[in-house]
Each structure stands twice: as structure tokens, then as C-alpha cells.
Amino acid sequence: GRRHHHKTPLPGARGRALVPAARPQLRIHSAPAPARGEGPRNRPGTDQMGGGSGGRGKGMPRAMAPVEEVDVAAVRYKPAELQAPHLTGFPLRAFVWLLESPLLGPLVTSILKKQNNMTQMLQHTVIPERPMFYPEYPPQEPERGVVTLGDDRDPVDRVEEALSCLAPYDPSGRFTSADEKNPFLYWKIRDFAYAYRSGITTPSAVAELVIAGVEEWNNKKPPMPMLIFFKADDLRKQADASTKRFEKGSPISVLDGIFFAVKDDIDCLPYPSKSATTFFDEIRPVEKDAVAVSRLRKCGVIFIGKANMHELGLGVTGNNPNYGTVRNPHSVDRYTGGSSSGPAALVSSGLCSGAIGTDGGGSVRIPSSLCGIVGLKTTFGRTDMTGVVCDAGTVEVASPLTSSVEDSVLLYSALAGSRPMDKLTLRPSLLCVPNLVSSENSKILQSVKVGKYTEWFHDVSDIEISNTCEDALSLLRNTFGCQIEEIILPELLEMRTAHLVTIGSEGFCQLNAHYQEGRRTEMTLDTRGSLALFGSFTSADYVASQRLRRRMMYYHMEAFRKVDVIATPTTG
């Protein structure tokens, strides 16, 4: 983790920064793979980043070879060498003023982009692929050992079916805690469900402990502002309704009475959605719950309030001068990561079992990693984004943060379900969860192939990070029988640039009218610096980035012909 230094006027977009935080954790990307087999024979003549060298003469631009012809085996890994000033205080304020200056701003952003090879990559390179404006996935073969939940079914029914896919619950040893003040800390969803049904405790009793816990964290030195909006009376009201359902013997689902937090860019009545700004509720009032929230509420979930975040999601630290910066519960001199800093801290502290965050480039996964919990970025379009502030692009999703994979399965089964428009344009595969009690899955890990790009895997700031992740891979191999396969993913520098331009342009387009009307002066300095950079991207930059997106999707789908998942350190 990083200690609390407010630096970098040039962060990346939501969930991605040019100087990311780091802590030893393991991230595994998974995707349904096409049938395994060999790809097309490739031609040589690629440069170090995977693109074709082409023929270059005087005045000739760099030309990338068609992606199908790139000789992946000849690609040489090239570490990123990002350049950005590290500034705080008055120098940072002066730098942001320069970026926003109509006369000097274009010059400064041009220099920064050239220093980081963005201009060469996007404006002086011939990219032969067609743009991919939305993620496109080839048809997938049905997976074995899964249960199809049904995209249009009631979330209560989906949760109950997902529950039947988990191993039988064993309560022995679950209800002893060294913390007598907060005996429920780090209970899982099924722990609460069992305790409520057995009369061990009630949602109302737990609500009082949650209220006391929030107040205790807020009063710490330094304070821990995990929630931006919190109403104890509303929490008691929800808990009382749940308690009465249990008293009548009619709980709604296994999620009834379970406490969850909601990131401040997701609508949840009776609270406003400010995206951790000081003003956004004035231009976007909340009239009803977001679809993701309404699905959980229908299952009986209790919402404790709106969780803190990096302002407008434009950063990966969680630093927020407006409401205070959320600190890592396990080490308060370190960041949580962001932008879903509050949701991750609340789950990590044990105050709630799960939370809903948003993720476009790591905003759920990074804080989950740094806080030691489970963060899942769902496939784009898998969750309905109606009622989410950042529903304006092609990378953002609403996703769960939980303390265990089991809880992620249950929360995901309630949240998931594409909106009609996304079903038409994205054609998502069938919604399913793994059937962990199926005989087909008794030895499933022995057939799993884990992809590892060794040079990328070890390109981290501290060897402790990669060593810890190596230990995790060794555990998967030696204890569970997974196979570790070496892979190569070309053009990672291009991928990072394309992502930054894509998410930055989409976010800036959503905010531009308010930015131009003077609202930028109400934003924090790092947000203003980011938006000034994003506003410098051209339409040609955006289209070039979508051409690169098609190349990236091709390389990853080719990798998934050989492996089932790709493992990397989450951040480093």
C-alpha cells in the first residue's frame, strides 16, 4: 500500500492511475474460452510491443501488422516508463491552473502525452483493425458444472438457486469471537442467516452494533470517514422490518437482514448521489433506487448508507479532501485504494458483509486487493447500470465487494441481469454460477490451466508482491493440481493508453457541460487535472483507441484458447 501522499496531477481515469498503488495480492482474470487449439501461423517482423514494424521510410508513419499476422512468440516485454510530475500544495495548484489555461494548457498536455508516447501511438501509427466501440465476444460453448440462473428471473429466486450450489453450511465454530463488543465481525452471509433463524441474534441487534461501529471509526484519530451519508434511524427502520419478518418465520431470502453498503455513485434512497463531490446532487437528483439496489432491496438487504470514494471515481487511491480520505482498516497509514475506497474499507473492517461498487479500470478490484477482500468486475453489460452516475461509457460496471468468494456468488446472483438494450447489442452468454456440489466439479481444479506472463507478472515495484503471488500460484499447482502455463500478451503499453483515452473521453463527455459552466472550481485538484488531460483527447485519439481495443481483445481471446484464467498481481 502507499502511505498518504497526495501527489500526481496526472492520474488515470476511474480506477486507473499512471502511478498505481501496490500491495501483495493476486488477481485472476477469467473468461469463457473458445475451444483450445492452435491459432493462425504468424509472420515475423514485429516490434517490441507486438505491432508490426512495417516499412518505414522518410516521412512514413509506424505501421502495425494486422493482428492475425503478429508473431506473438517473437514479442519482447517492455516495461512501462511513465512520466508525470509529483506535486503537492501550491505547485500542484499552479500546475492545474496551467492545465486549465486556454493558452498554456494545450502545450502542457501535449508535452505530457509526447513524453508518455501517447501521441506517437495514437496519431502517428497506422492501425489496420476496425474500431471496436463495445466489447465483442465470440459465441461460447456451454460451460460444464454450472447452473443457469436465468437473466429475467426474480432476484430472490436466483439467489435461492445459487444457494443450492454451495456446499452444505456447517455452523460449528462460527459463533465465537475474541471481540466481545462486536461479536458479528467478519461473519459471512450464511453465518448471519443461520444466526437469525436460530435466534442467536436479530437484525435489530446487529444494527445497533453497526451504528456503534460507524461512530467508533468516525471518532478515531485520525478519523475513518467510510460513509458519506449515514442515517441511524433509517438503518434501525430497515432492521426492524427484517426482524419482524424473522419473528413471523417469513424471511424473504438468505440475504434478508444482511448489511450492505452502496458506493456514492449508485442511487439508493433516501440518500443523494454526489459521487463524493460537494455539488453533484444539485445537478442530478435521486428519484428512485438504482436497479442494482432495488434488486438487493427486494431480497431483504439492509443498506447502511452511501460509502466514500475517490471524487467522481477519477483515481485509484481513495484520496478525498471533500469528506476525508478513507484509510486502510488493516494499516491506517496506508490507502485503501480506489475509487471504491469506502465500500472496500467497510467490508474489510467487518462492519458489513458486502457492498456494491463501480469498476471501469480497477475501481473495485484495486481496493479489494489492498484491503484483503474479494472484488469482482463483472462482464460489461452483465449488470444493469440504470441509476448509476457513471452509466455513460463502454467500460463501467456495478460490481460486488465481499469478504469471501461464496458471498460473491450470492451477491452476484442477485445483482446480475442485463438491461434490454444490452441484450440486443452485447448478446451476453447465459447467466450462470458454478455448481460446487456437482460431482463434475469435485476435481475441477485439476483441469484448470492458469496463464502466467512471467515478465509482466514480475514487473512490480517490490519483489515481495510478486513473491507472494508466486506462492499463491504454487499453492494452486501443488495443493489443488492446477496447471501453470506460460503465455504472452503483446502490446500492453498500447492497451493501457487505449484504456486511458477510452475511459477518460467517456467520463469527460459526461461531465463536460458542467465543467465548462464553471463547476470545475468546485472539484478537487487531482480531479481537475485529470479532466484537463481527458479534454485534450481528440475524436481521432478515441477511434484509434477502439482500433487498439480490437487488437487487445484478439490477443486475450487467443490466450484463452490455451488457458482458462490469467493470473497477475492486482496492482504493483
Q: Is 244 within 8 Å of 236 (Cβ atoms)?
A: no
Please check the confidence at residue 434 and state whether its pLDDT lies above 50. yes
What is the end-to-end Cα distance of the chain in Å, rounded? 9
> Cβ(78)–Cβ(50) under 8 Å?
no
**pLDDT reading at 299 higher than 90:** yes
Express each pLDDT in 95-135 by its tens digit: 999 999 999 999 999 999 999 999 999 999 999 999 999 99
pLDDT over threshold 50, residue 53: no
Per-residue buried b or exposed e for 14-40, using 16+ beta carbons within 10 Å of the residue's own CB: bbbbbbbbbbbbbbbeebbbeeeeeee
Query: What HEC string does 143-169 produce?
Result: CCCEEECCCCCCHHHHHHHHHCCCCCC
Greatest mean pLDDT range, 9-13, 48-52, 294-298, 434-438: 294-298
Mean pLDDT computed over every residue of the chain: 89
All three cell numbers of 301: 438487504
Mean pLDDT of 233-245: 98
Segment among 21-25, 172-176, 228-232 with least mean pLDDT: 21-25
- Give Cβ neighbours of residue 194 (< 8 Å, ≥ 6 apart): 169, 171, 174, 200
Nearest alpha-carbon partner for 389 in 266, 515, 513: 266
Q: Mean of the pLDDT values across residues 236-265?
A: 98
Give the rounded distance of the alpha carbon of 312 from its chain centre: 14
Average pLDDT over residues 316-325: 96
d(CA 278, CA 203): 33
pTM over 0.85: yes
H/E stretch holding 468: helix 463-478
Quick one: pLDDT at residue 49?
Answer: 46
Which backbone phi and psi does 179 adopt, to 5 degrees? Answer: -95, 95
Active centre residues (catalytic): 263, 339, 363
Indicate the residue type of 442: S
Answer whether 343's CB lies under 8 Å from 378's CB: no
Burial of 271 (0-12, 13-18, 19+ CB in 10 A): buried
- Kindly report, residue by residue over 4-40, the tens digit of the pLDDT: 443 333 333 343 333 333 333 444 444 444 444 444 4
Q: What are the angstrom distances between the C-alpha of 61 and each of 45, 52, 332, 492, 556? A: 16, 12, 50, 20, 26
Cell triple for residue 533?
Answer: 488531460
Which amino acid is present at 321?
A: P
Contacts of 204 (CB under 8 A, 6+ apart): 236, 239, 240, 242, 243
Residue 226's pLDDT is what? 98
What cell was used for 137? 465476444
Cell of 104: 498554456
In angstroms, how far is CA 166 from the centroid of its own chain? Answer: 25
Domain ranges of the chain: 67-143+439-571, 146-176+183-437
Give the residue carrying C-alpha cell 503537492: 88
343/368 Cα distance (integer angstroms): 9
Question: For the chain, percent helix, then strand, then coil, each to nearest 5?
Answer: 40, 15, 50
- Residue 178 has a pLDDT of 54
In whole angstroms, give the CA distance from residue 556 to residue 32: 11
Domain 146-176+183-437 has CATH 3.90.1300.10: yes
pLDDT band with cut points at 50, 70 and 90 for residue 173: confident
User: How confident is the model over 175-203, as a mean pLDDT?
Assistant: 86
The answer to whether residue 229 scores a pLDDT higher than 50 is yes
Our CA dihedral for 353, 355, 359, 363, rounded to 10 degrees, sits at -70
C-alpha cell at 129: 483493425
